[in-house]
Amino acid sequence: MNKSTLESRLSAELAGIADLGLTRRRRVLESPCGRIATVDSREMLNFASNDYLGLAGNPEIAQAMADGAIKWGPGSGASHLVSGHLTPHATLEDEIAAFVGYPRALTFSTGYLANLSVTPTLAGRGDAVFADKLNHASLIDAMQLAKAQGADVQRYPHNDVVALEKMLAASSTSNKVIVTDAVFSMDGDLAPLPALFALAERYDAWLVIDDAHGFGVLGEHGRGSLSHFNLPSHPHILLMGTLGKAAGVGGAFVAGSDMAIEYLLQRGRSYIFTTAAPPAVACALSRSLQLIRDGDALRANLMARLGQLRDGLAGLPWRLLPSATAIQPLIVGANAAAVQLSTALWERGLWVPAIRPPTVPKDTARLRISVSAAHTEADIARLIDALKELA
C-alpha cells in the first residue's frame, strides 16, 4: 500500500530529525521514580529526573494520595468552575498561598497549562510582552498566544537587564508584561529577579515568574526564588511554580494578589476549560508541602552534593556551566558527541540524558545532570569517576 502524501511528508521530516542526531527516545521505568531506576531490567543510578528533594517516591505522600482517593474518589468530575473544585483543592490553594507569601493561589493540572493561562490573559491587542530568550517552551508558547491576540512581543537577550530596560523605555503601551524563568531549566542559572522587579516597578509592568525549578529548593524552607532573593510579595508579580519536580507529585500553581488571581480565574482559558486534577493529588500535595517546609536537611544535602560534583568535575575537557542549582549542565558541543557520552555513562549504569537542539542552542548539546537530595556522596563520586575515565 502506497503512503499518502501526508504520511510521506511526515516520514521525510522524521528521517531529517534522525539525520541530525535529534531523535528522541522514551525509556520505560519499571520502578518508582528515585535515585535508583530500573529500566530495561537494569538498575541505573538516576541523574535524569527533576525529583530534586527525592519526594517522588515518598511513602507518606503516597499514603496521603491513597487516603485521598478513598475519601474523595479517583476523579474531580468537571472543571474547577463547574463542579470540580473539591475541598482538597481549596485547602491546597490556601496552603500554597500562605507558604509563598501571597494572598491567593490557583492550582493547575500542569505547569504548561499554568503558563499558557497567565501571559495570554494579561496581554492582548495593544499590549506588550518582554520575554527572556532562554525561557521554557511553555512560556514561549504562551508568548506566541499573546502575539496571536495582537500583543507586541519582544525577546531580550538572556538575563540582559540593560537591553530589557531599553525595550521597556521605547514601548508606548500602558500594559507591559515581563516574563522570565527564575531558574533556567537547561542552564541552571538564576534570573536577576531583583533587577527585573525594579524594572517592573519603574515601568508599571507585570512580572511573570516561572519558578518551576526553584520552588522547594531555594529560599527559606524551600519557598522559592523570591525568598532566595528576599523579594517581597507584590501586586505586580505573578508567581508560577510546578508541583511535579521538588514537590514530587504533579500539577502547578499561580500565586498573586487577590485581584490578579480573580482575573486569572475569570479569564484564563486553560484554567476555565480544563477538568480539575483528581482531589487525591491535592491531598498528596498538602503532605508534600509539609515535607518541603520541614526539609532543610534535604536541601542541605543537595547543596553539599552540588559542591562535591562541581569540585570533582573541574578540569575536564567539557565545560560545566556556572550553576548553583540542582541543574548542572555539562556542555559537550556536537549532538553525536553528547549522545555518545550519555550512552557511555548508560553502559556504566549511570542515567544522564543528552539534551540537544532545539531544546538548547545549536552546537551546545550537553549532559543535563540533575542532582537530588536523595543522592549520596558515593553516588556523586561514581559519576565523577566515570566522567574522568571517559575524558
Are 264 and 121 in contact by the 8 Å Cβ rule? The answer is yes
pLDDT, tens digit, 9 for 90 and up, residues 54-85: 999 999 999 999 999 999 999 999 999 999 99
Phi, psi (degrees; rounded to nearest 5) at 388: -65, -40
Q: How confident is the model at residue 350 (pLDDT cuts 50, 70, 90)?
A: very high
Roughly how many angstroms between the first and final C-alpha of the chain, as a whole number?
49
Which secondary-structure segment (H or E) carries 152? strand 152-156
From the CB of residue 1, how many other CB atoms can be counted at a distance below 10 Å?
3
Report how far Cα 316 is from the mean position of its chain's Cα atoms.
Answer: 28
Predicted pLDDT of residue 21: 80
The answer to whether 213 is a known catalytic residue is: yes
pLDDT of 2: 61
Confidence of residue 167 (pLDDT cuts 50, 70, 90): very high
Task: Catalytic residue, from 213, 225, 228, 286: name it.
Answer: 213
Q: Is 3 a catalytic residue?
A: no
For domain 59-293, give the fold: Aspartate Aminotransferase; domain 2 (3.40.640)
Q: CA quadruple 336, 340, 343, 345: dihedral positive or negative?
A: negative
pLDDT in tens, 172-203: 999 999 999 999 999 999 999 999 999 999 99
For 14-32, write each residue's pLDDT tens digit: 999 998 888 888 888 999 9
**Contacts for 257-261 with beta carbons within 8 Å, 24 or more apart?**
257/102, 257/103, 257/104, 258/103, 258/104, 259/235, 260/235, 261/103, 261/104, 261/105, 261/106
The DSSP secondary structure of 207-225, one letter per residue, reads EEEE-TTTTTTSSGGG--H
Catalytic residue among 80, 136, 228, 245: 245
Strands 327-333 and 350-351: unpaired
The one catalytic residue among 138, 185, 270, 323: 185
Q: Which of 391, 365, 379 has the alpha carbon at shortest distance from 22? A: 365
- What one-character DSSP code corresponds to residue 3? P
Q: What integer pLDDT is reported at residue 20 of this predicted model?
A: 85
- Mean pLDDT, rounded, for 112-116: 97
Residue with the larger pLDDT of the pair 2 and 150: 150
State the residue for C-alpha cell 521605547.
170
**Do the strands 176-181 and 152-156 form a parallel or antiparallel pair, or are they unpaired?**
unpaired
Q: In this structure, which topology does domain 21-53+296-390 adopt according to CATH?
A: Aspartate Aminotransferase, domain 1 (3.90.1150)
Q: Give the up-direction half-sphere exposure of residue 229: CA atoms within 13 A in the CB hemisphere.
A: 19
pLDDT above 60 for 1: no
Place of cell 507586541: 152
CA distance 90 to 279: 10
Q: How far is CA 116 from the centre of its chain?
A: 14
Give residue 188's region: left, alpha or beta (phi > 0; psi -120 to 50). left
Tell me phi and psi for residue 34, to 5 degrees: -175, -175
Among 334, 364, 369, smallest CA distance to 21 is for 334
Assess whether pLDDT exceeds 60 at residue 131. yes
Residue 3: is its pLDDT beyond 80? no
pLDDT-based confidence at 354, cuts 50/70/90?
very high
**Are residues 351 and 39 in contact, defined by beta-carbon separation less than 8 angstroms?**
yes
Q: How far apart are CA 141 and CA 152, in angstroms?
A: 14
Task: Tell me what the pLDDT averaged over the chain comes to.
Answer: 96
Chain segment 253-311, per-residue pLDDT in tens: 999 999 999 999 999 999 999 999 999 999 999 999 999 999 999 999 999 999 999 99
- In whole angstroms, give the CA distance from residue 136 to residue 115: 10
Q: Residue 41 pLDDT more than 90?
A: no
Residues of the chain with CATH 3.40.640.10: 59-293
The pLDDT of residue 61 is: 98
Q: Does 382 have pLDDT greater than 90?
A: yes
Catalytic residue check, 147: no
Which residues belong to CATH 3.90.1150.10 in the chain?
21-53+296-390
Tell me the pLDDT tens digit for each residue of 326-344.
Answer: 999 999 999 999 999 999 9
